[in-house]
Amino acid sequence: MNCKNYTKVIIVVLFAVGCTALAEPSLTIYNQNFAVVRQQLNLDLEQGTNEVRVTDITANLEPDSVILRDPTGKHAIQILEQNYRADPVSQGLLLSLYEREEIEFLTDDKVVRGRIVRSGYVPGQLRIQRSGSRYRGSGSTQAVSQPIIEVDGKLRFSLPGQPLFPSLADDTILKPTIHWLLQAGSGGKLDAELSYITSGMSWEADYSMLAQSNGDIIDMIGWVTIENQTGKTFENARIKLMAGDVSKIHPGRYGLGGYGGVAPPALMMEAPVSEKAFEEYHLYTLNRPTTLRDKQTKQVEFLRAEGVKAERIYVYDGVKLSQRARAYTYVRIRREQDYGTASNPKVWVMRELKNSQENHLGIPLPKGRMRFYQRDDDGQLEFTGENIIDHTPRDETIRVYTGNAFDLIGERQRTDYQIDSRRKKLDESFKIKVRNRKEKDAVEIRVVENLYRWKSWEIVQKSHDFIKTNSQTIEFRVQVPAGKEKVITYKVRYTW
């Protein structure tokens, strides 16, 4: 399936469900820097062929995504021809329209006349830059974009002054424009619906996690941040936010893209945002119209929950691997004796919470930044860490890394390594120390060990019980009193 057809399939799916004519524009914004725009057009058509121009559109419209229809189904409309222009009048465009002609240029002290040999205007250059084209910034483009002006029989590779144009040329527009030739089955007025995809609009979620004291109970506030860089203002728009990894082909690239609410009982007013499942994604709808201006960033609260349990956990993963280790094969890992023996001394601080109704949540949480704050003894909120969470369905567990513990130290040492290639066996032993330098508080540290040398393994000696978390990972959970140290030892046998 080619790119153009694929985009059309997406549009058909989006607009085949529950579309009605709206007096105000309607937006569905995706967290992948694009949006679907639906707006009403008041048309007065004659039976037969009609010429229509529309300028109330964005500067980043995808022309092959355009759909024009009568939502009532009473009027048959066919687009015979569509022309999209996104080159509003500018100095460069007017220079190109007056190429090979003489115009006046205003300098500091006088007016001179010069003939435009080459304007330097590159049609569609702005769209090329926005789409990330591979031709952007190439030497040939830079050379062509340099103007050449002849003044008094000599060539200049720059403008001699501010150009003074006689008038606007006939072939200029002031805004991005769609020009249609429409075939109407019957004449009359109708409220048509124009729908299209545009880039330049995005949204993201942010979560503020507020702990009142050094405990596991927090208050949670969720915000959506919407950004409009489309070149168009949407007055009193109905806005929906789509969360999920929707496949989208981005212009100028060769691959595919990508990535009812339950209010807390204490919240008596209507929630500003409602949520529902849609296809394999989730839609969040702003429950009242809002104006979204061009170049504006708007924030709306969509979640408020109290009494959420977010357990603080400490994790020590003592292996320090370089980036190049990702390309290692199992054979090389087995034979390289010193692989994985460098020690990481840091103990991670993490927050773990269940996205369930029992935990005062239980709604799909869109991908976004989760920030943690804790109130100090003086009443001030202090920032304690942040990270990104992925799209999280209800009843799933979220684990967020927030930083490294100051008073907890880990140490990992390999104590034995014996390989018998003939018998296809490898024994490896480790000693892991975790120290708690806190003055008062005992902590549980989860010591994670990655069994990376082969897929078939067995723990033949151990000082503590462990949990097998996946096919190549085990976890020791040890209680470490304040000011004390715990030592974990184990021996793993690999066979192949």
In angstroms, the CA 176 to CA 160 distance is 30
**Among 59-73, 251-265, 459-473, the least confident range:** 251-265
pLDDT one-digit tens code per residue, 164-206 = 888 766 666 677 888 899 988 888 888 899 999 999 999 988 9
Residue-level pLDDT at 277: 52
pLDDT for residue 58 is more than 50:
yes
133 near 118, Cβ under 8 Å? no
Residue-level pLDDT at 262: 30
Q: Residue 134: phi, psi to the nearest 5?
A: -65, -15
pLDDT one-digit tens code per residue, 295-337 = 999 998 888 999 999 999 999 999 876 544 555 777 777 777 7
76 near 97, Cβ under 8 Å? no
Of the two residues 111 and 122, the one the predictor is more confident about is 111
pLDDT for residue 450 is more than 70:
yes
Task: For strands 234-243 and 26-30, give the pairing.
Answer: parallel
Please, what is the average pLDDT of the chain? 81
The residue-averaged pLDDT of 386-407 equals: 90
pLDDT for residue 138 is more than 80:
no
The pLDDT confidence band at residue 489, using thresholds 50, 70 and 90, is: very high
pLDDT for residue 16 is more than 70:
no
What global pTM score does this model have? Answer: 0.65
The residue-averaged pLDDT of 61-84 equals: 88
Instruction: Find all residues with CB under 8 Å of 79, minimum gap 6, and list them.
Output: 66, 68, 180, 181, 182, 183
Of 298, 87, 43, give the one whose Cα is nearest residue 191. 43
Residue-level pLDDT at 171: 62
The pLDDT confidence band at residue 476, using thresholds 50, 70 and 90, is: very high
Q: What percent of the chain is predicted at pLDDT more than 90? A: 41
pLDDT for residue 247 is more than 70:
no
Q: What percent of the chain is predicted at pLDDT more than 70? A: 80
Residue-level pLDDT at 142: 55
Residue-level pLDDT at 320: 76
Residue-level pLDDT at 381: 87
Residue-level pLDDT at 380: 86
Residue-level pLDDT at 296: 93
Of 433, 404, 44, 18, give the one whose Cα is nearest residue 240. 18
In angstroms, the CA 46 to CA 52 distance is 11
The residue-averaged pLDDT of 75-80 equals: 87
Most confident of 19-23, 157-161, 323-327: 157-161
How far apart, in Å, do the first and last CA atoms of the chain sit? 44
pLDDT for residue 366 is more than 90:
no
